[in-house]
Amino acid sequence: MKNNFNHSVTIEYTTSFHDTDAMGVVWHGNYLKLFERAREALFQKYNYGYMDMQKSGYIWPIVDARIKYTNSTFVEQTLLITAQLEEYENRIKINYTIRDSKTGKKTTSGYTIQVAVCMTTKEMSFVTPTIFLEQFGLLK
């Protein structure tokens, strides 16, 4: 088993006309916005949202992202976006799955990897800062 922790959240999002492109589907780059909404919900669930990060003295830039497109999505489609913490020791890896809310059919998946950067020193942290572990209940 890869991990013995389970931190995830699922949000609902209904696509808007401005999410689409000339092919009549959600533009492929806009899924990173949907991933971000789910990631924000996950961090907020553990009381480590944007404002909390600022207070904690760390920013969390994304250093790697991947998106796999299984099925197109359309205007006025309601999606369920799940974000799940996959790795946390040295860097934060979050997996995403997007499904149609009615059929449950998977439309999109992917991941993002973030690292902690100290706001004062501008240096990248090679182990995940204690504050993250505390908030997510992962401190051993």
Give the footprint of a copy of itself on this chain (CB under 8 A): 16-18, 20-25, 27-30, 32-33, 36-37, 40, 44, 49-51, 59, 61-69, 72, 75-76
Residue closer to a copy of itself (CB basis): 4 or 121: 121
The encoded tokens of residue 54 equal 């600022």
Residue closer to a copy of itself (CB basis): 41 or 138: 41
What's the burial of 6, exposed, middle or buried (CB within 10 Å: 0-12/13-18/19+)?
exposed
Which neighbouring-strand residues pair with 118?
58
Token pair 């992917």: residue = 110
Task: Give the C-alpha separation, 20 to 3, whole Å.
Answer: 36
Asked if residue 3 lies in contact with residue 61, where contact means CB atoms within 8 angstroms, the answer is: no
Torsion of CA 103, 104, 110, 113, to 10 degrees: 140
Residue closer to a copy of itself (CB basis): 84 or 114: 114
Residue closer to a copy of itself (CB basis): 1 or 23: 23
CB of 138 to a copy of itself, least distance (A): 23
CA atoms within 13 A on the CB side of 33: 13
